[in-house]
Amino acid sequence: MLLPALSQAAPGAGDAPKEIRIGFQKSSVNLTLLKHRQALEQQLKGVKVSWFEFTAGPQMLEALSVGSIDFATTGEPPPIFAQSAGSNLVYVGAEPAKPGVSAILVKPESTIRTLADLKGKKIAFQKGSSAHYHVLRAVQQAGLQWTDITPVYLAPADARAAFERGSVDVWAIWDPYWAAIEQNTQVRVVATGKGLVNNLSHYLSSRSFADRYPKVIQLLFEELTRSDTFVQKNRDEAVAIIAASTGLDKPTIASFLERRPRSPVVYLTQNIIDEQQRVADNFYQKKLIPKVVNVRDAVWLPPAARQQ
């Protein structure tokens, strides 16, 4: 669903909260540019905009679930795990698929050459993250069972350390962490997400925030899409801004953005919902989440769309 046209005026005093708390991570390109551009601060006069960085999606959605932030973006699995745990979050929007921005990595000398070679190996990844689903799909593609591998649940920085010292055989990770290790460590890619996972990015909020401030959600999406346009048209400047924000070097960010497709933000479509439901069903069927998740129960749409 395309974004409905914004009115010329920004949301009025009654249409916006006193503060908007936004969660982001190093992979959140559009949010990083939005933070730098200060477009929300300029349009929402008198509204405090606070920004909180997280290492990965599961940690971010935990904060969203307890009310510490109002708006966040993650890959596909984190909201599924959150919903299965009873969180009251809602999907409010999404970016297109990015299958090429994640990878299953080994060291150059590794004997692992194919996905079938993952059998019996220790694989590090963030539990409940996009990497979790990437590994699940890789195992399935190889004709293996989940029990054929040893998952090692670690946050990105700890997973990289374990991978570099040889405590695990494989690291499943997304950009820009993948791009970062490529800059100073020799790694070999066993598989990217292409042909395995879609890697959609989802935007999430609490249901109460979205219901109360739909014009703010709409404004966020407009400005996030403008941020993406900026990335596409001003690549060198975008690289510099994101590098400064993340603390990563420019070659790392340039490599990341080269793999990242154009990413405007839209409200959820039926195709996006169906794809997310397939991910949720796969996790449940493999007993990786405790109960069936109905994605549609957590989908929020703007008032105008509900009347269609």
What are the boundaries of each domain within the chain? Answer: 13-98+200-306, 99-192
Element (H, E) at 188: strand 188-192
Local confidence band at 3 (pLDDT 50, 70, 90 cut-offs): very low
Per CATH, the homologous superfamily of domain 99-192 is Periplasmic binding protein-like II (3.40.190.10)
Q: Which two tokens stand for residue 133?
A: 């689903």
Tens digit of each residue's pLDDT (9 = 90 or more) over 208-259: 999 999 999 999 999 999 999 999 999 999 999 999 999 999 999 999 999 9
pLDDT of 5 > 70? The answer is no
Cα–Cα distance, 108 to 208 (Å, whole number):
49
Cα–Cα distance, 151 to 292 (Å, whole number):
22
How distant, in Å, are the alpha carbons of 9, 52, 60, 197, 258 from that of 68?
Answer: 29, 10, 9, 30, 33
Q: Do domains 13-98+200-306 and 99-192 have the same CATH topology?
A: yes
Per CATH, the homologous superfamily of domain 13-98+200-306 is Periplasmic binding protein-like II (3.40.190.10)
Q: Which residue has the higher pLDDT, 227 or 15?
A: 227
pLDDT of 303 > 90? The answer is no
Please give the model's pTM, rounded to 2 decimal places: 0.93
pLDDT of 159 > 70? The answer is yes
| Rounded mean pLDDT, 285-297 | 97
Beta bridge mates, 105 = 171, 189
Q: What is the mean pLDDT of the chain?
A: 94
Cα–Cα distance, 51 to 264 (Å, whole number):
21
How distant, in Å, are the alpha carbons of 70, 85, 165, 205, 215 from that of 88?
Answer: 12, 9, 39, 9, 20
Are the CB atoms for 88 and 206 separated by under 8 Å? yes
- Dihedral of CA 113/117/120/122: which sign? positive
Cα–Cα distance, 180 to 192 (Å, whole number):
16
Tens digit of each residue's pLDDT (9 = 90 or more) over 71-129: 999 999 999 999 999 998 999 999 999 999 999 999 999 999 999 999 999 999 999 99
